[in-house]
Structure 1
Amino acid sequence: METATIQKNFYCGGDLHAKTMFLSIMDAKGEILFHRNIPNNPPYFLSVIQPYRHSIAVGVESTFNWYWLADTCQKENIPFFLGHALYMKAIHGGKNKNDRIDATTIANLLRCNMFPPAYPYPKEMRGTRDLLRRRYRYVTLRAESYTHIQGTFNQQAIDGVSSSDVKRKSSRADLPNHFDHPDIAMSVNCDIELSHALDPIINKIEKQVYTRAKYHDHNALSILMTTPGIGKILAFTILYEIYTINRFPSVQNFSSYCRLVKCERTSNGKYTGDGNNKIGNPYLKWAFSEIIIHAQTHSPNIKKYYERLISKHGEGIAKSIMAHKFAVAVYFMLKKQGGIQ
């Protein structure tokens, strides 16, 4: 675990909430100078830190609502540090917990150079990245509706309906007619209506991304699309989640960030189970896991190798192995600025 080295005269720790933020400002000796709950308002925040801003560092935990504070600090040239939520919990986990303690602890972590940094994603690409994440959510909901429809057919032992029939608009409208029970037919019909509603939303998001995404590295996008199985939308997803491959000093760091390596815990030479499996980026894990689904239709060699892995390890582990291999390939392609061979 890395920690940030920060040398300032004042340290500001903030415990962010939806509408308010508890702020704790202390000097280099640890003496608290300001300790109060304030509204999430940029001008008010700047007025509070005005006496100290000539030499202050601001730090908060990486929660859902740090964007405005990071943008305010960047605009005003104030050093801003985003803290890794799980690592910070491991460091300062204690018996008592409240806003005052949390804000003071964050300021102390900054002051003692024990602050575990996360990556504050840049503003210019953040909106497109978040839009792609919404697309992922809608695609997941649509996939769940497809799965539920097929599961319902399996429950009733009704054959003759393939996954293509469920996904194809022209054929799925007739699927409820296969059921005699009105409630079962209604359940399937609800899934179909949800799929119908999500289709245009997903298409609209994709068109928006294609036409307005302009702050990314266009060369990196072209390199990604040389990989079998990576289409334009997957390439955009990977690129906008990574931002720049130079964030990662090694392929091991990148694989870990993508949640594609196993996290083991041992004590005294004994295995004590898995842990911290949720540290990392779930969207990159999904993207790299999706590649093999399409890659095996484009490359006979990849398909042959994937089938060998399935026969040896089973489909789930084989898919994880391929996802890791694609992540390693993408890392070195982007590092060396060259397409896949």
Structure 2
Amino acid sequence: MRYVGLDVHWRQSTFCVLDANGKTLCTRTIVGPWDKVLLALGQVKPPFAVCFEASTGYGYLYERLGAMAAKVIVAHPGQLRLIFRSKRKNDRVDAAKLAKLLYLDEVPPVYVPGLEVRDWRSLLEHRQRLLQERTRAKNQVRALLRQHGVKAPRGLWTKAGMKWLLSQGFAGAGTALQRDLLCERIGSLHGMVKRVEAELANIASRHPGVALLRTIPGVGLRTAEAVLAYIDDPERFASVKAVAAYFGVVPCQDQSAQKQRLGHITRQGPATVRKLLTEAAWVAIRRSPTVKAYFERLHHGDVDRRKIAVTATAHYLLRVMHAMLRTGEVWRGEAA
């Protein structure tokens, strides 16, 4: 078995090959797209294992490399301290370190979902970007109105509100043009969001787990599909603690001897899911006596603990969702 460490980039990539004894056989730098890199790796004498860091397009490379290599491991870049904390860092050094970690079986791996799930996740993140862009455009409209001392009515983004906005007269032609362009952008983004949500609804209809998670009070379609898309296979997590750590809703820990300090949540993993979980937690607190009791037990009526309590409630909902996906049981509030 040979071991290949691949430091991959779009325009230039470097790989290092070790033999069965861990001795360096060769190091090559390939200038060009990934197809040229794959062609060069195809010349390595099989069998060989290959390791590279997760980045944009890692799923595509994983599948292409899987067709030629005996073993492919995608490394977690945030856990490769040997590389990202190194004082001497370049592509050849990084490729050699990846090859050595692969040889020693010390690569921190990441889970690589199938093409369908990767496409699902990508569409979820695209929707989130569209929403953020639409929010920025709306904020610019409000700022424009404030600049001219115009108070916006309630329901500004309804049809009646938009009609009112377009009817406003401004002293400068430039201001009116900005208003018109922003309104057009908001309308265009609204249409894009609707198209994306229609496709997401179509995808969600093919996954029974989405309907299962929606039996939880406060968990809507968007939250259920996001959690399911990123969990994918609930059996890949050894425990509920591993699920919480994956989504970054566990506290940072600094422990030494008898001293232990817990800080803010780690915020690792998909931020979109954490956002949706928090929104679902607020709704569940209002709709479910069980969730409300859990929240109030942590809140203690202290305003300063409100955010801590809702984050813990989101963590609780995530654990419940994982358990439901593993067992196939619907929400049972009295036993949750």
Q: TM-score, normalised by structure 2?
A: 0.83
Deviation at 1:242, TM superposition (A): 1.3
Once the two structures are superposed, residues 196-233 of structure 1 have per-residue CA deviations (whole angstroms, 9 ceiling, x without a partner) of 1211111111112233568x6x3322211211222223
Whole-Å Cα distance in 1 between the matches of residues 321 and 60 of structure 2?
A: 32
C-alpha distance in structure 2 between counterparts of 1:69 and 1:198, whole Å? 32
SS in 1 for 2:46: helix
Q: Please say if residues 245 and 335 of structure 1, whose CA atoms lie closer than 8 Å, have aligned partners that are also in contact.
A: yes
Query: CA distance change for structure 1 residues 177 and 11 in 2, over 3 Å: closer, same or farther?
Result: same
Query: How far off its partner does 1:312 sit?
Result: 2.5
Q: Is the 8 A contact 1:15 1:21 kept in 2?
A: yes
RMSD (Å) for aligned C-alpha atoms: 3.4
Q: 1:225 to 1:73 in 2, by over 3 A?
A: same
Indicate which of 188, 196, 200 corresponds to 1:209: 200
Give the direction of change, closer, same or farther, for the CA distance of 1:158–1:264 in structure 2 (3 Å limit).
farther
- Matched to 2:73, the amino acid is F
Which residue does 2:88 correspond to in 1?
A: 96
User: Hey, what's the Cα distance between the residues in 1 that align with 2:125 and 2:223?
Assistant: 12
Whether the 8 Å contact between 1:16 and 1:66 is mirrored in structure 2 is: no
Alignment of 1:173-212 (within 5 A): 173-175=163-165, 191-212=182-203
Q: Describe the shift of the 1:158–1:303 C-alpha distance in structure 2 as closer, same or farther (beyond 3 A).
A: farther
Please say if 1:318 is aligned against 2:315.
no
- Aligned CA distance change for structure 1 residues 201 and 297 (closer, same or farther; 3 Å): farther
- Mean Cα deviation higher: 104-113 or 230-239: 230-239
Question: Which residue type is aligned with residue 196 of structure 2?
Answer: I
Give the distance between the partners of 2:290 and 2:166, measured in 1 at CA.
41
Query: Does residue 279 of structure 1 match 2:268?
Result: yes
1:137 maps to which of 129, 134, 137? 129
> 2:218 aligned with 1:229, yes or no?
yes
Contact 2:75-2:108 at 8 Å conserved across structures: yes
Aligned counterpart, 1:334: 325
TM-fit CA distance, 1:33: 1.8
Cα deviation for residue 103 of structure 1 reads 0.6
Tell me, yes or no, if the aligned pair for 2:247 and 2:267 is still in contact at 8 Å: no
Between stretches 149-158 and 282-291, larger displacement belongs to 149-158
Q: Alpha carbons of 1:213 and 1:321: their partners in 2 closer, same or farther (altered >3 Å)?
A: closer
Say if 1:92 and 1:294 are closer, same or farther in 2 by CA, change over 3 A.
closer
Distance 1:303 1:96 in 2: 52
Q: Which moved more, 1:116-125 or 1:105-114?
A: 116-125
Q: Deviations over 1:54-83 (max 9, x none)?
A: 2x1110001113233211123346311000
Q: Please give the residue correspondences for 1:16-27 in structure 2 after superposition, counting only pairs within 5 Å.
A: 16-27=8-19
Equivalent residue of 2:45, what SS? Answer: helix
Which structure 2 residues correspond to residues 242-281 of structure 1 after superposition, within 5 A?
A: 242-267=231-256, 274=263, 277-281=266-270
The amino acid that maps onto 2:161 is S
Q: For residues 305 and 207 of structure 1, do their structure 2 counterparts lie closer, same or farther at Cα, with a shift above 3 Å needed?
A: same
Q: Which runs of 5+ in 1 are unaligned?
A: 1-8
Compute the TM-score of the two structures, normalised by the length of structure 1: 0.81
Aligned 8 A contact 1:82 1:118 in 2: yes
Counterpart of 2:221, as a letter, is K
State which drifts further: 98-107 or 256-265. Answer: 256-265
Cα pair distance change 1:185/1:264, threshold 3 Å = farther
Q: 2: distance between equivalents of 1:108 and 1:268?
A: 32
- The one-letter code sitting in structure 2 at the alignment partner of 1:48 is L
Alignment pair present for 1:120 and 2:109: no
Higher mean C-alpha deviation, range 191-200 or range 118-127: 191-200
Structure 1 residue 97, shift from structure 2 partner: 0.7
Do the aligned partners of residues 90 and 188 (structure 1) sit closer, same or farther apart at CA in structure 2, a change above 3 Å counting? farther
